[in-house]
Amino acid sequence: MTLLAIDNLETDFVSRTLDDEIRVAHALNKVSFEVNRGEIVGLVGETGAGKSLTAQSVLGLLRAPARVVGGEAVFDGRDLLTLPPAEMNELRGYEIGLVVQNPRTSLDPLCRIGDQLVRMQRAHRPVNGRVARKKAVDMLAAVGIPEPERRMRAWPHELSGGMAQRVLMAMALINEPRLLIADEPTTGLDVTVQAAILDLLRQIVLERSMGALIITHDLGVVAHYCERVAVMFAGSIVEEGTVDAVFETPSHPYTRALLSATPERLKLGSGRQLGGPPPDLYNLPIGCHYRDRCERVRDICTTPPPATDLGEGHRVQCHFAKDLEGQPL
């Protein structure tokens, strides 16, 4: 069952030059993908691809000069992009949990952990204090915090990075959301802590039949923890499909470049560094936006590539997707 269906989402940055001319950067270009119940979808791409902007657009968290100019993001029959702010506030943190990268800035430094977990519940529904505290303790235990009763009284600054990230996950999950959006939830944590947190996230998503969107630039995370993946370049989804299909038969030149540039491959000498600067969003190349960096570029690439369907939801936005399918990296 589809939980979130993003369809042709477009987000622009509109600004004025010193000469008072209006400039428009097309930061998200017809982004479409879905998150179903009981699955984790990975959104990957290099820094600046538009991953965080996608989450912010969907959750009504954009700040000027960014604004959504087209598309839909349907959650539970409602288009989040046109939802009045009060209804969006009600959904966010209740039916849709959010985990962002930096736990330090996301936790209130002046409020004990337990009180924050209680406050989170009461922000959405009246809850008896004792019930709310009990649920908070249970949630801390569920995210693997030792001595949860004692930790309820801890201040955010007393927690290690890994513990703070777990608390953040507890905050995102305390109201039993149906969808979790996690933007780089483990970036900056050491590998063991990262694995523990992602294992837990996977377990919770499966147990509760939730859906989750994990935003990351780490392909290893996607390979281990996600069912499906969407690859983003310059604000467009260039390839999407099951993790097996996309990793085994990557068919967009950018996906292939990303997969060749993993630290493991580079270390083994079989990889290649990801080349070239990201395109200028104010002046995107006509036709395929990957054109200036693509080693396979041909004349036809000045026309926008159609989405090629390679079967079972494996879709690729390249004129030559079928030629590349199944070719070694």
Q: Which does 291 bind (CB under 5 to 8 A by kind): ligand SF4, ligand ADP, Mg ion, none?
A: ligand SF4
Q: 10 or 183, CB closer to Mg ion?
A: 183
| Least distance from ligand SF4 to the Cβ atom of residue 222, Å | 20
Q: Which of 316, 300, 149, 298 is nearest to 246 (CA)?
A: 316
Q: 246 or 301, CB closer to ligand SF4?
A: 301
Q: How far is CA 118 from the centre of its chain?
A: 27
- Kindly identify the residues of this chain, within the stretch 202-261, that bind ligand SF4 according to CB under 6 A: 253
Pair 202, 224: CB distance under 8 Å:
no
| Least distance from ligand SF4 to the Cβ atom of residue 59, Å | 30
Q: Cα–Cα distance between 255 and 250 in angstroms, integer?
A: 6
Asked if 297 interacts with ligand SF4 (CB under 6 A), we say yes
Q: Which of 30, 46, 52, 127 binds Mg ion (CB under 5 A)?
A: 52
Pair 152, 114: CB distance under 8 Å:
yes
Q: Which does 48 bind (CB under 5 to 8 A by kind): Mg ion, ligand SF4, ligand ADP, none?
A: ligand ADP
Sign of dihedral through CA atoms 75, 78, 80, 86?
negative
- Kindly identify the residues of this chain, within the stretch 43-72, that bind ligand ADP according to CB under 6 A: 45, 47-53, 65
Q: Which does 233 bind (CB under 5 to 8 A by kind): ligand SF4, ligand ADP, Mg ion, none?
A: none
CA distances from 308 to 101, 237, 261, 315 (A): 34, 12, 24, 6
Q: 184 or 227, CB closer to ligand ADP?
A: 184
- Kindly identify the residues of this chain, within the stretch 279-318, that bind ligand ADP according to CB under 6 A: 281
The SS3 assignment for 99 reads strand
Asked if 320 interacts with ligand SF4 (CB under 6 A), we say yes
Query: Taking the CB of residue 46, how many other CB atoms lie within 10 A of it?
Result: 16
Structure tokens belonging to residue 45: 């791409």
Q: 46 or 72, CB closer to ligand SF4?
A: 46
What lies within 8 Å, CB to CB, of 323 at 6+ separation is none
Q: 253 or 279, CB closer to ligand SF4?
A: 253
Q: Which of 169, 172, 135, 173 is nearest to 152 (CA)?
A: 135
Q: Which of 243, 305, 308, 314 binds ligand SF4 (CB under 6 A)?
A: 305
Q: Which of 234, 207, 151, 189 is nearest to 37 (CA)?
A: 207
| Least distance from ligand SF4 to the Cβ atom of residue 236, Å | 10
Going by the DSSP 8-state scheme, the letter that residue 276 receives in this structure is S
Give the interface with Mg ion as residue ranges (CB under 5 A): 52
Give the interface with ligand ADP as residue ranges (CB under 6 A): 13, 25, 27, 45, 47-53, 65, 281
Give the interface with ligand SF4 as residue ranges (CB under 6 A): 253, 288, 290-291, 294, 296-297, 301, 305, 318-320
